[in-house]
Chain A
Amino acid sequence: PHSRGRGGSDKAPGVFAAPEDAPSELNPVLQLPKGGRRGYALLPPLLKVLSDQGPRSWDSKAPRLQPDSRALRYMKRLYKMSATKEGIPKTHKGHLYNTVRLFTPCLECGHGHRDLVKGGVHSVDLLFNLDRVTALEHLLKSVLLYSFDTSVPISSSMTFICHLSIKEHDFASQVCPSISHSLAFSLHFEVSKRKWVEIDVTSFLQPLIATNRRNIHMAVNFTCLMGDPQQSTKLENPVNVTLVPPSLLLYLNDTSEQAHHRWNSLGHRSKSPVRVRPMNSPLVDHTGDKRKGNSQGKRA
């Protein structure tokens, strides 16, 4: 699991209108820091309950905080995309994650999120707590998940040219420069259909997670031009497109025993008694003509 993913970070961070498009690209696999060992103690709730004495122990620990309904709706659709009704994981290419965690901005930490729109620039101050990520969960990809609430019906299809700049506030010491990251992307979609936009921030989050940051505090400025990129675009705040503070989505590869490993199931298949014929065997016909290969085979 320490090898870099095939895709590496050579792909410019794109924007995925989710959840129709399955997340597909790979990103460098990250070894979560030692500090994550605390997270290791927090067994996934399913196993915690199975190892405790029956569900009563869990009832007392029902989730303290109820998740955001939009986030829940998104994850239910991700579930439908990733597993059958009976809960059997679907195997489709590029589906390398066996864990996806969705964090909503931490409200109870007193920071909540400050939200202001000035001259078309939408700024929000976010704090995410990543304590639930265990030391054995390796980051594959991370995205900011924006959901668009359009209060006024707007033309069915429109083009946004957006600039996203993210600053990491480092509480510890104001001395070290806050890591900033900005990316521009154009976004064309039918707002009426797609309520979600995934913005890939893996390359931004990578150094933060690699330095064992359990609290990710970022200021996000979101500016959108509306119009046709080819024509002259003018800065204007899309008609009443209010941006709900984004959630943070982490696609992870859990390397613990209890997690399902796709490469393992592939490996399992290769254990089946299918002999791999050496290329120089008489049965393999180099001209690729199967029939001939078979007739040779019969003769051999």
Chain B
Amino acid sequence: SRQRRNENVKAAPPTSPYNLSEYFKQFVFPQNECELHNFRLSFSQLKWDKWIIAPHRYSPQYCQGDCPRAVGHRYGSPVHTMVQNLIYEKLDPSVPKPSCVPAEYSPLSVLTIEPDGSIVYKEYEDMIATKCTCR
């Protein structure tokens, strides 16, 4: 193996600093990588404040960004995600790349006025995205 390494060293031409950055580019994660983004709305913007008494503001958040090829450990993605990426790259580009979607949520408590004038406090599941994944 030492001999093979010597041969390899002789074969590989000295890389100029320019090629080096190009060379490393393939390992860098995408700039706009898949991640959680803030989004805050008030129910008055939707004109729902007539019947939603509380909360006044609500931050559902959202997931956006490109999914890197090596998604495994970083996003807790299943192996299927990498398979889908391979299909997109090698076999059929009409198959979509994996998407950046929410993986976990937290609940939201809402105080509303019902059509009959009664008042209800309710806790709804899965109303705020708290974590993203590639699927």
Contacts and interface: CB of A to CB of B under 8 A. Distances in A.
Interface residues on A, range: 35 or more
A53 interface: no
Nearest to B58: A87
Contact of A49 (B48, B120, B124): B48
Interface string A54-65: 010011011111
A61 B119 contact: no
A46 interface: yes
Contacts of B128: 88
Interface in A21-59: 44-47, 49, 55, 58-59
B51 A104 contact: no
A75 B115 contact: no
B55 interface: yes
B113 to A, nearest CB: 5
B7 interface: no
Given A44-B120, A49-B48, A132 B114 contact: yes
Interface in A256-282: 257-261, 264-265
A44 B52 CA distance: 12
Given A75-B119, A100-B120, A101-B118, A45 B51 contact: yes
Given A79-B54, A79-B109, A67 B119 contact: yes
A135 interface: no
B58 A258 contact: no
Interface string B87-107: 000000000000000000011
Contact of A71 (B51, B107, B110, B119): B119
B52 A46 contact: yes
User: Which one of B48, B116, B125, B126 has the greatest number of beta carbons of chain A within 10 Å?
Assistant: B116
B45 to A, nearest CB: 10
Given A65-B117, A87-B108, A89-B107, A99 B122 contact: yes
Contacts of B50: 59, 62-63
B125 A261 contact: yes
Interface in B28-58: 46-48, 50-55, 57-58
A147 to B, nearest CB: 14
Contacts of B86: none
A98 B123 contact: yes
Contact of B117 (A67, A78, A257, A260): A67
A101 B119 CA distance: 6
B71 interface: no
A204 interface: no
A254 B122 contact: yes
B121 A67 contact: no
B117 A89 contact: no
The 6 closest A-B pairs by CB, nearest first: A65-B117, A83-B109, A260-B107, A87-B55, A260-B123, A98-B123
Given A55-B48, A64-B117, 7 more contacts: A44-B120, A47-B124, A76-B111, A82-B121, A87-B58, A101-B118, A132-B116
12 contacts: A44-B120, A45-B112, A46-B52, A66-B113, A75-B119, A76-B54, A86-B55, A87-B109, A88-B128, A98-B122, A104-B118, A132-B118
